[in-house]
Structure 1
Amino acid sequence: EKNIPNEACIIVANHQSSLDGLFIMSKMRHRAYKNTYFFAKEKHWKSKLMKFMARKNTVILMDINKDLKEALQKLSHILKEGKNVIIFPEGTRSKHGLQEFKETFAILSKTLDIPVVPVVIHGSNRAAYRRVKFPRYFAPVRVEFLPPVFPSENDTFQSLKSKVEQLISDKVQVYNQKKKQ
């Protein structure tokens, strides 16, 4: 995808289904794909097999009941190595619209001076939402990478979070309007 810079970035997307990560990765060039990690809730990776897969692949698991500091340190280390990180800042899936974003990505972006690439996912909730055993293969899913947002000197964590959240929200509304027509 042309909007992913050649240097490290934080890819921030709305979250509609358990397959969103795969949808994002399917749109990335191989070079970006192999240098990208996921930030995920540990509770969704319960089984030993799933935890093993996470460790062997590019998934950083976080226990939301523990200290966020350790997770931020892991993510910082990955970003400093020039790798990308995908974060779903809503923290959970949402069928329609957006839930409020968490600041994690903004803290990392501002502290490390790393760009954020907003990504809008539309339609993945129709392909596979919660407790769906088999995805609906022909449900149309759209993934759009927006231009990178670079943290400015004047940005606070909150203002950077709000800026990215608004860009994604505006695009989600456009897609929702098209769906109604």
Structure 2
Amino acid sequence: MTEDLTYPGRGGIWLGVPGLILLAVGVLVLGEFLYRQGYSREFVEHGVETTAESVQIRIHPKRAGVTGEDVVLVFHTASGQRITTSPRSADGETPDLPEGEHAPPAGTRYAMPLKILYAPADPTYVLASVDAREWAADRDTPLIGGGLLAGGGLLVSSAVVVLTRSARRRGVAWNRWFSE
């Protein structure tokens, strides 16, 4: 390797790249949070609450958690229609059960009696009441996302200052430092 790895602009790059990563992660965290919170608020405000007749969880040996596709609910709507569906979003740890389909153990997040909220316009859109209320009341996630954005913005700004000062010291015009 014949290149000198200690060129003058390296410090700014070491600040800028992690800053850009933090900015991207912050945007993703806040985007997911806003979507999830809006979705859950819609269910809390306009959804119809009922109790599921049966809940089955599919256990996969290679997965660490339970997702929406792993939970199958059966319930009756207010009009008497019987619905079999999966909740749109489910979070939880995998119970200590063998592979296959099982009823959730007592005391777990989706154990019976499970209160659910469904959309009156389309009862196949279901969300567990506990998930909807927790997500609607979440106040920690926006602080984390905002902190990631602020930290990333600070690092990127610092990188720009360091790169600009380094370029000026080398005699590069302020509007041409990027081409060197």
Name the TM tier (shorter chain): under 0.3
TM-score, normalised to structure 1, is 0.23
Q: Which has the higher helix share?
A: 2
TM-score, normalised to structure 2, is 0.23
Mark the structure with the bigger radius of gyration.
2
